Amino acid sequence: MSRTTESQSGSSRRADGRHQQRRRGPGRGPGRRAVVLGAVAATLGGAGYLVHEDLERWWWRMPGNQRDRKPGAVDHPGAEWVPASEENYNLADRPYDWEIDKIVVHVVQGSYAVALKVFQDPEHGAAAHYVVRAEDGHVAQTIRELDVGHHAGNMEYNRRSIGIEHEGFVDRPEGFTDAMYESSAQLAAGICARYGIPVDREHIIAHHEVPGADHTDPGPHWDWDRYLSLVRRATASRRG
Ligand SMILES: [Zn+2]
């Protein structure tokens, strides 16, 4: 998360400052979806061997299978829907228009409540998709996964990623609770399964690893070995 406004390029706004009607991602070239779907059709045509997980992933790319936007709906089962201000993200149609291949891990530098509050502030200029509470691992979803959150400070990375905020401070590792690690790992495993994202440090990255990022979160005390092993375990139990 940011204490300063993350200015994002590529956001199309009308004169009144509202986002344009957006079934499409910002700055998206024409025909990209057709190209993607064509490739998917070709893949499916000759791929009787695709395992279930792959089929589940590709299914979302087929025409007519867009998810709707039912009020209150969430992508992560059990998450509480606490919507961010629409000024802090771009409506999109991922993974149709932009492929999702990364998870960006953040630490709020503040409380769970503060994160939700600033995400709802249209002046804040930034919001991630999820906020995980330290005390009990409770998950709030603030942006749908198909939409592009402004959380990475880099529009290319915003488009291809899902952002998870964790309550706490980079220099207070004692605040990174077991419950938060466990719950966040379950969340990340679900995201990886939905989009076919490999569970590794190339694809599950720190905010401070995003090119051009001027943030330090989640910081040196975030236990990556532990987190990745929890995500792997959660992934294995999803398969089992
Ligand atoms: Zn961050």
**pLDDT class of 17 with cuts at 50, 70, 90:** very low
**Distance in Å, CA 41 to ligand 1 centroid:** 37
User: Measured in angstroms, how far is the CA atom of residue 223 from the centroid of ligand 1?
Assistant: 16
Specify if 5 maps to a domain: no
Average pLDDT over residues 210-228: 96
Distance 115 CA to ligand 1 centre (A): 11
In the chain the first and final C-alpha atoms are separated, in Å, by 34
CA of 187 to the centre of ligand 1 (A): 17
Q: How far, in Å, are 32, 194, 197, 203, 235 from residue 54 at the CA level? A: 21, 9, 11, 17, 14
Cα–ligand 1 centroid distance for 193 (angstroms): 23
Q: What is the pLDDT of residues 154-213, one digit of tens each?
A: 999 999 999 999 999 999 999 999 999 999 999 999 999 999 999 999 999 999 999 998
Find the 180 Cα to ligand 1 centroid distance in Å: 16
| pLDDT tens track for 55-91 | 555 555 555 555 567 888 999 999 999 999 999 999 9
Question: Would residue 3 count as lying in a domain?
Answer: no
Confirm whether 18 is domain-assigned.
yes
Tokens 């990623």 correspond to: 161
The domain that holds 30 is classified in CATH as 3.40.80.10
Lowest-confidence segment of 60-69, 109-118, 133-142, 188-197 by average pLDDT: 60-69
The reported pLDDT for the residue numbered 195 is 97
Count the domains in the chain.
Answer: 1
Q: How far is the CA of 29 from the centre of ligand 1 (A)?
A: 28
Mean local confidence (pLDDT), 122-149: 97
Distance set, CA 199 to CA 25, 45, 75, 180, 229 (Å): 26, 27, 19, 18, 9
Q: Examine residue 6 and state whether it is found in any structural domain, yes or no.
A: no
pTM for the whole structure: 0.75
Helix (H) and strand (E) counts in the chain: 6, 8
Task: Provide the percentage of residues in the chain whose pLDDT is more than 90.
Answer: 66
CB 97 within 8 A of CB 30: no
Lowest mean pLDDT among 10-24, 114-128, 160-174: 10-24
Name the residue among 183, 216, 189 with its Cα closest to residue 204.
189
Mean pLDDT of all residues in 84-113? 95
Its domain, for residue 165, covers: 12-240
| Confidence at residue 198, expressed as pLDDT on a 0 to 100 scale | 98
| 28 within a domain of the structure (yes/no) | yes
Residues in Cβ contact with 64 at an 8 Å cutoff, skipping those fewer than 6 apart: none
Ligand 1 center to residue 48 CA distance, Å? Answer: 41
Residue 151 Cα to ligand 1 midpoint, Å, equals: 6
Query: Does residue 2 sit within a domain?
Result: no
In degrees and rounded to multiples of 5, residue 166 shows phi and psi of -120, 130
User: What confidence score (pLDDT) does residue 16 get?
Assistant: 37
Cα distance between residue 225 and residue 234, in whole Å: 14
- Are the C-beta atoms of 96 and 126 separated by less than 8 Å? no
Domain annotation covers residue 112: yes
Dist CA 65 CA 73 (whole Å): 16
Please tell me the distance between residue 42's alpha carbon and the centre of ligand 1 in angstroms. 38
- pLDDT at residue 71, as a whole number: 84
